[in-house]
Amino acid sequence: MEIIIKKDALSGSYSAARVVARLIHEKPDAVLGLATGSTPLMLYKELIRLHNEEALDFSRVTTFNLDEYVGLPADHEQSYHRFMWDNLFSQINIKLENVHIPDGMASDIPAFCASYEQAIIDAGGIDLQVLGIGSDGHVGFNEPTSSFASRTRIKTLTRQTVADNARFFDGDESKVPHHCITMGIGTIMDARMNILLAFGQNKAGAVAATVEGPTASIMPASILQYHPAAKMFIDEAAASDLKLGDYYRWVYDNKPDWQKDA
């Protein structure tokens, strides 16, 4: 896992966006896995800027989103469908038929989850997956103790995740759905590259446990230690609990020129 420590969330997001843009330039029909929430917003804003000002072309790109709440229709203001169209898709030239987001209103959720997995396979697999991390170490909605072999499925959210997400529902935990559809950890690990974004002091504990702690299902993101091409973009606050922070900075600053893609 490559640890990239930037001074703040903005510079970390811009660096991550350059990794995504480089992939699209090299492979115009790239398959992207995308995340929601506040963490990737600056990354998406930079991709929009690159599209508008530098002609970054999404016309052949295919996307698969990590997750969606169960019981929220696509047009609900807090659905992840709505989030993605408001914050990215409506502002780039991606084709509607190339966008895939879990259907929280599916009548047969297990069948839908199986079809979502098959759609990823049919698309050739995910080239690059964007991830955030929860304060308890979850990725997607793979809560602590999720199986490292898990695939797309329904999950029950922990009380901590419900509490963390209440800020999107007027601070009212009773409005937060308790179930979701999420890509599994096995699905995430199948991506050819994973980039994880984490910003702020409240993520420092999860970042340290993910990078320097043991690999354990109680800290789902820790499985990324085993991924052959995982990059973590963090700010100084999120890096504050790392024991080897100075080493990660030294490694990044001394990369050979040909390796400096972020």
Segment 47-83, tens digit of pLDDT: 999 999 999 999 999 999 999 999 999 999 999 999 9
CA distance 222 to 148: 10
Selected residue with higher pLDDT from 259 and 64:
64
**Whole-Å CA distances, 249 to 12, 26, 117, 246:** 13, 27, 37, 5
Where do we find the tokens 């559809």? 181
| CB-CB contact of 130 with 63 (8 Å) | no
**Of the CATH numbers 3.40.50.2000, 3.40.50.720, 3.40.50.1360, 3.90.230.10, which one belongs to the domain with range 2-252?**
3.40.50.1360
**pLDDT tops 80 at residue 192:** yes
Query: Mean pLDDT, the chain, as a whole number?
Result: 96
**pLDDT tops 60 at residue 106:** yes
Mean pLDDT on 144-154: 97
pLDDT for 259 equals 76
Mean pLDDT on 118-139: 97
Q: Enter the tokens of residue 33.
A: 């896995």
**pLDDT tops 60 at residue 161:** yes
Order across the sheet with 99-100: list the strands.
2-6, 230-235, 194-198, 128-131, 31-34, 62-65, 99-100
Active site residues: 67, 136, 138, 143
Tell me whether residue 101 is exposed, middle or buried, using C-beta atoms within 10 angstroms of its C-beta: 0 to 12, 13 to 18, 19 or more.
buried
pLDDT for 168 equals 86
CA distance 20 to 14: 10
| CB-CB contact of 141 with 180 (8 Å) | yes
pLDDT for 49 equals 98
Where do we find the tokens 């100075």? 246
Give the count of beta carbons closer than 10 Å to the beta carbon of residue 256: 6
pLDDT class for 260, splitting at 50, 70, 90? low
pLDDT class for 261, splitting at 50, 70, 90? low
Q: Where are the domains of the chain?
A: 2-252
**pLDDT tops 70 at residue 155:** yes
Strands 153-156 vs 230-235: parallel, antiparallel or unpaired: unpaired
Where do we find the tokens 């987001």? 101
Would you call 21 helix, strand, or coil by DSSP? helix
Mean pLDDT on 236-258: 94
Selected residue with higher pLDDT from 249 and 161:
249
pLDDT for 228 equals 97
Task: Give the chain's end-to-end CA distance (angstroms, integer).
Answer: 14
CA distance 236 to 231: 16
All residues at 6 or more sequence positions from 142 whose CB lies less than 8 Å from its CB, including other chains: 150, 155, 182, 183, 184, 185, 188, 220
